[in-house]
């Protein structure tokens, strides 16, 4: 399919609703997130969509894919295992490499557009 029906919107509320499942103890008790996948349905092929989350933290031992993020609203922070911290707010874009270890903190209610990429090792 290559017509107009193959075009996908990437926005909160559009696409397949996915609530990621993380390991026990990885997320703070208040961690809440939802993805709205505009295309791609599994973690072995590229997928993209919109994401929204509430304040909380998620410990990441090894981020599972390369991800490009464009913040639409709110603020998030990434903190590596040495304690270095970077914050991103609405209007900013950033890249998280596969294998990143540390903490994702949703500082305030936030939303983003994301593209998850899988590279060959």
Tokens of 103: 């903490």
Phi, psi of 104 (to 5 degrees): -95, 125
Tell me the CATH number of domain 4-117, given options 3.30.930.10, 3.90.180.10, 3.30.420.40, 2.60.120.10: 2.60.120.10
Please state, in angstroms and as integers, the Cα–Cα distance from residue 43 to each residue in 12, 46, 63, 73, 103, following that order. Answer: 20, 7, 12, 25, 20
Angle at CA 74, nearest 5°, toward 79 and 41? 80
Q: What is the pLDDT of residues 69-97, one digit of tens each?
A: 999 999 999 999 999 999 999 999 999 99
pLDDT computed for residue 43 by the predictor: 65
Please provide the average confidence, as pLDDT, over all residues in the chain. 92
Q: How would you classify residue 26: left for phi > 0, otherwise alpha for psi between -120 and 50, otherwise beta? A: alpha
pLDDT band for position 23 (cuts 50, 70, 90):
confident
β-bridge mates for residue 66, sequence order = 117
46 CB-near residues (< 8 Å, 6+ apart): 40, 115, 116, 117, 118
User: For the residues 49-77, what does the mean pLDDT come to?
Assistant: 96
Tell me the DSSP string of 54-70: ESEEEEESS-SSEEEEE
Least-confidence region, from 2-11, 25-34, 49-58, 91-100: 2-11
Q: Which of 57, 38, 54, 72 is nearest to 102 (CA)?
A: 57
Q: Enumerate the domain spans of the chain.
A: 4-117
């Amino acid at each position: 399919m290559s017509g107009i029906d193959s075009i996908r919107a990437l926005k909160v509320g559009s696409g397949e609703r996915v609530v990621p499942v993380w390991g026990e103890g990885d997320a703070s008790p208040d961690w809440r997130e939802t993805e709205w996948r505009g295309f791609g349905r599994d973690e072995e092929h590229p997928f993209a969509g919109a994401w929204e989350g509430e304040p909380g933290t998620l410990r990441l031992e090894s981020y599972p894919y390369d991800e490009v993020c464009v913040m639409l609203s709110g603020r998030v922070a990434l903190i590596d295992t040495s304690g270095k911290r970077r914050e991103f707010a609405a209007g900013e874009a950033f890249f998280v490499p596969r294998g990143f270890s540390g903490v994702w903190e949703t500082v305030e209610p936030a939303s983003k557009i994301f593209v998850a990429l899988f590279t060959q090792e």
